[in-house]
Structure 1
Amino acid sequence: MSAIENHLNLHAQALQLRERRNGVLASNIANAATPGFKARDMDFKAELSQAIGAGQLKTTSEGHIPVGGTSAAGMLYRKPTTSSLDGNTVEIAVEQMEFAQNTLRYQSSLEFLNRKIRGLTRAIKGE
């Protein structure tokens, strides 16, 4: 990985994961009235650590067995605070709050990434 990629990797990975999480949360909201639907979410911190390679074991030979899970393995079921008679675990207020918070964090990561790119551009131009 080049120095520029290392410089931008964290925020770029965070943007991709926040976008994926927004899709999951939007699916939860869309299925709030679906009987038996189980609300899902992801462990963002664990997914980001895996995406940037923090603590991830890598194989050095084709004969080695790879260690680690896929992104789908990072999906978790949300535990509801109140039970629904139809088995649906979506709590619309919780999902809307999580969606809003995730969107705000997405915008923050985007701004951090833009600032880093502007700084690199200025350095290249010699400003």
Structure 2
Amino acid sequence: MAGDTLFGVHGAALEVRSQRMGVLASNIANASTPGFKARDVDFKSALASLEGGQDGIDAATKYRVPMQTSMDGNTVELSSEQTAFAENAVQYQTTLSFLNGRISQITRALKGD
């Protein structure tokens, strides 16, 4: 269980945010691909699954429902995807910074500083 590790839930959160970044990047890359269906990762569901010892990122990845449908069947709304990507990137960086701080604390404790 992720909560029992040295880094608590933060290691699992970093993994989920990383996977979500890949999904969102794929959406952005396929913004003009006819018939492409945008997807997103439900962060809370994926994190809960990882904490329970399962790899639920795939199960937590759902198709996005567009606000406005495209004539070619593509469901990517570029501005929404870019916003979600930017928000996820900030959250990823915040989690990474926390983990780096935790590693520094552990390193100092081991050195006896």
- The alignment's TM-score, normalised by the length of structure 2, stands at 0.88
Deviations 1:60-114 (A, max 9, x none): xxxxxxxx77432211011111111111110000000000010111100000001
* Superposed counterparts of 1:59-74, under 5 Å: 70-74=56-60
The answer to whether the aligner puts 1:113 opposite 2:99 as a matched pair is: yes
Q: Residue 33 of structure 1 aligns to which amino acid in structure 2?
A: S
Q: Which residue of structure 1 lines up, in the alignment, with residue 112 of structure 2?
A: 126
* Distance 1:8-1:108 versus aligned 2 partners, 3 A rule: same
Secondary structure of 1:36's aligned partner: coil
Query: Can you give the 5+ residue segments of structure 1 that lack an aligned partner in the other structure?
Result: 57-67
Q: Contact 1:9/1:52 (CA < 8 Å) preserved in 2?
A: no
Percent identity between the two aligned chains? 51
Q: Which residue of structure 2 lines up, in the alignment, with residue 40 of structure 1?
A: 39
4+ residue runs of structure 1 moved beyond 4 angstroms?
Answer: none
Deviations 1:9-46 (A, max 9, x none): 41111111111111100100111111111100010111
Q: Contact 2:16/2:46 (CA < 8 Å) preserved in 1?
A: yes
The answer to whether the aligner puts 1:7 opposite 2:6 as a matched pair is: yes
Query: Can you give the 5+ residue segments of structure 2 that lack an aligned partner in the other structure?
Result: none
Q: Contact 1:17/1:48 (CA < 8 Å) preserved in 2?
A: yes
Root mean square deviation of aligned Cα: 2.0
Q: Contact 2:49/2:55 (CA < 8 Å) preserved in 1?
A: no
Q: Which residue of structure 2 lines up, in the alignment, with residue 23 of structure 1?
A: 22
Secondary structure of 2:59's aligned partner: helix
Q: Contact 1:36/1:89 (CA < 8 Å) preserved in 2?
A: yes
Q: How many pairs does the alignment contain?
A: 112
